[in-house]
Amino acid sequence: MHEYRRYEGESEDALIYRVCKDKDVIGTWEDVRDILNDLLGVEYNESTYRKKFTAFEKMYEAKLDEAEDTDAQIVELKQQIRELKKERAKLQTEKLEYNRWLRENARDELITEKIVEAINNLKPVSSPTYIEPSHGDREYALLFGDEHYGVEFEIKGIMGEIVNAYSPEIFEERMNDLFRQVVKTIKEKNIKQLTVINLGDFMDGMLRVGQLTKLRYGVVEATIKYANFISEWLLNLSYYTRIKFYMTDGNHSELRLFNQPKGAFKDENMGKIVREFIKVRLADNPNFEFVDNDADIIFTVLSGYAVVGVHGESKDLKSTLEGIQSIYNLPVDYLVCGHLHHHYAEDVGVRSAIIRTPSIMGIDPYAVSLYKGCSPAALMLTFEEGKGRVAEDFFVLD
């Protein structure tokens, strides 16, 4: 802030008028009071200066109206007043923007501090034995997503049986089941490198007030717990094969700040925290590579075929595939996604297809209301040079 002083020969009124005129730059009237009291050696309250300044302004405008000057001079003076008001408005806008920036950074710093604290409290991870890269005519991609970590529910059937139940503990049991099935497949097919693609909605989030009754954890706590679990899961898998890990965000992990609609704060997504957590935890792992995707679109090439991954909220995935090809000038062979919690595959050309992967969570109360559902599951795709997708392993989870 500018440091104010009293000029030699400057009257008290002139000083008060000069400082008060900068009120929008200084801040509040209390800030103005503190400056003037210090310069004048008095203890007036802020209303004294505010009222004096108002009186000065009224006198100035009255004198301006009474001035017997030329029309050109009056126009010039009024123009100066308008310019002064415009500058004040600019300063006020800048101050509002600055305060907003401070609030946003304070929030981001708080979240960051919690994440850093959580990572620092964890035991260091061990590194697996280095696995030599090898190349064959087949490559493999494990697809999973829609874990909705943190949500709890139980769905009963017509006869009173449990159709599906879910909780953080059940999530871990299913991921452990998936781990066993994937390791078995790795050994059977002698997979030396596995592309692992997470297709979003790792947490349930808080999109609607009604969700609060189903959530065990808050957004930050759920994010930390999930990030820690999935880091350990990937670490353990890297003892059996080399891993290239890709991740996209979902609509549930998006922060709906100030009750704004979907997409208003698209970049404010807790998936960013999970990414950084995994990178830090597995930074020294020789068998693990985290592949970033700046456009929130996963892109990789498997056995010579371009594979793109998105969360999959679009109802017309064929148009999505064509749009990605057009916007990014990419030849896309396969589009993989999640979001709808059920498996779906459609060939859209020669060695080209759209594939939806099922969810880890499985059927939920919302799906029941639509009479739609699918078993909790994950998917492994096998690609072969010259043939494209040649196999799908469907891992149904208990």
- Report pTM: 0.68
- The DSSP symbol for 126 reads P
> Which residues is 242 bridged to in the sheet?
193
- State pLDDT tens for residues 232-269: 999 999 999 999 999 998 654 455 443 444 444 445 56
Q: Which residues are within 8 A (CB) of 320 and not within 5 positions of it... i.e. 6 or more apart?
A: 310, 312, 314, 335
Residue 180 pLDDT greater than 90, yes or no: yes
The type of residue at 374 is C
Q: Which residue has the higher pLDDT, 104 or 220?
A: 220
Q: In Å, how far are 345, 355, 373 from 358, measured between CA atoms?
A: 11, 10, 10
* Interatomic CA distance for residues 292 and 298, integer angstroms: 8
Indicate the pLDDT class of residue 182, thresholds 50, 70 and 90.
very high
Instruction: Give the tens place of pLDDT for each residue, 50-102.
Output: 998 888 888 877 766 665 555 666 677 777 777 777 777 666 665 665 555 55
- 194 close to 142: Cβ distance less than 8 angstroms: yes
Taking the C-alpha atoms of residue 333 and residue 231, their distance in angstroms, rounded to an integer, is 30
What average pLDDT does the structure give for the chain?
A: 83
CATH entry, 134-396, from 2.60.40.10, 3.40.50.2000, 3.40.50.2300, 3.60.21.10: 3.60.21.10
Q: Residue 41's CB: how many other CB atoms inside 10 A?
A: 6
The pLDDT-based confidence of 229 (bands split at 50, 70, 90) is: very high
Is residue 197 within 8 A of residue 309, CB to CB? The reply is yes
In this prediction, residue 73 carries a pLDDT of: 66
Q: Domain residue spans in the chain?
A: 134-396
Average pLDDT over residues 150-169: 91
- Residue 189 is predicted with a pLDDT of 96
Q: Where are the alpha helices (DSSP H) in 41-167?
A: 46-66, 71-120
Residues 6+ apart with CB under 8 A from 343: 356, 357, 358, 374, 377, 379, 394
